Amino acid sequence: MLAENVLIDSHCHLDPNYFKEGAEPVLARARQSGVSAFVCIGVGGLVEARYACALAAQERDVVATVGVHPHDAAQNDAALETALTELAAGERVVAVGEIGLDYHYDHSPRDTQKAVFRRYLQLAREVEKPVVIHTRNAAADTLDILESENARDVGGVIHCFSEDLAFARRALDLGFVLSFSGIVTFKRAEAIQEVARWVSADSYLVETDSPYLAPIPKRGKQNEPAFLLHTAAFVAELRGQSLGQVASETTQNALRLFGKQLVVG
């Protein structure tokens, strides 16, 4: 693959909960397929947050995030907040997240999800880092909280974008960017595809969200960063651009959002 085609996986889970063989072979396959950097999401608990940070310390093309996923909001307490605040200040931690609201699964009570979401938006402000937002079936509340917490001051990304154009406009108005995952390649994803065609060159990223939701033609397999190319190629086709253009735009956008820690080479 040509150098200008290198892609950044702006959102992947790499911990041993998903990849029993460890992250190394997964990263090796992705590098082979043209992925030049990885934003490794450290959520699920303190163990996973520490894992992401350790991987980022060890691998020069990996950076980490730490946060409390809305699924786990009920597990949040003062001790976890203190530990995550310390980790979030680390040099290789580029964002706080993923945080947000998930009313599809409702693994934690909605009021708890909202309160914890606000806490971690405030934490991001403290450590002066952007946020990675997870939102599912909770569009209105997510936007309301981002607005009322002045999230534009920290900025961030709506990861695994699966909302409509109206949501996209409001997110961009807040200074956020949108990240497209394998979902954009699915047949019933017309609304998301419309947004991918519409979004301006400086406001989108691509991601795998491994190990979930592998893009077509890998659908049904365990997703991994090596599959990012399929999503990027699909987005390029939607936008009437070359893969190289999409790679270049998304790389610039990732660097602007996550900072120079992502620069490899």
Binding site for Zn ion (CB under 5 A): 41, 98, 134, 209
State in angstroms the smallest separation of the CB of 99 from Zn ion: 10
Residue among 5 and 69 whose Cβ is closer to Zn ion: 69
C-alpha span between 3 and 16 (Å, rounded): 30
Minimum CB–partner distance for residue 3 and Zn ion (Å): 28
Beta carbon of residue 132, minimum distance to Zn ion (angstroms, whole number): 8
Phi, psi angle pair for 92, to nearest 5°? -90, 5
* Residue 137, CA distances (Å) to 37, 102, 161, 171 in order: 30, 6, 12, 15
Q: Which is nearer to Zn ion, 59 or 98 (CB)?
A: 98
Minimum distance from residue 59 beta carbon to Zn ion (Å): 19
DSSP reduced 3-state for 206: strand
Q: Which is nearer to Zn ion, 132 or 238 (CB)?
A: 132
Minimum distance from residue 210 beta carbon to Zn ion (Å): 9
Q: Is 110 exposed, middle or buried (0-12, 13-18, 19+ CB in 10 A)?
A: middle
HSE (CB half, 13 Å, CA atoms) of 2?
Answer: 8
Closest among 96, 92, 86 to 43, alpha carbons compared? 96
In the bound state with Zn ion, the residue whose beta carbon lies nearer, of 53 and 243, is: 53
Question: Which lies closer to Zn ion via its Cβ, residue 71 or residue 119?
Answer: 71
What is the secondary structure of 29-94 as a DSSP string?
Answer: HHHHTTEEEEEEEE-SSHHHHHHHHHHHHH-TTEEEEE---GGGGGG--HHHHHHHHHHHTSTTEE
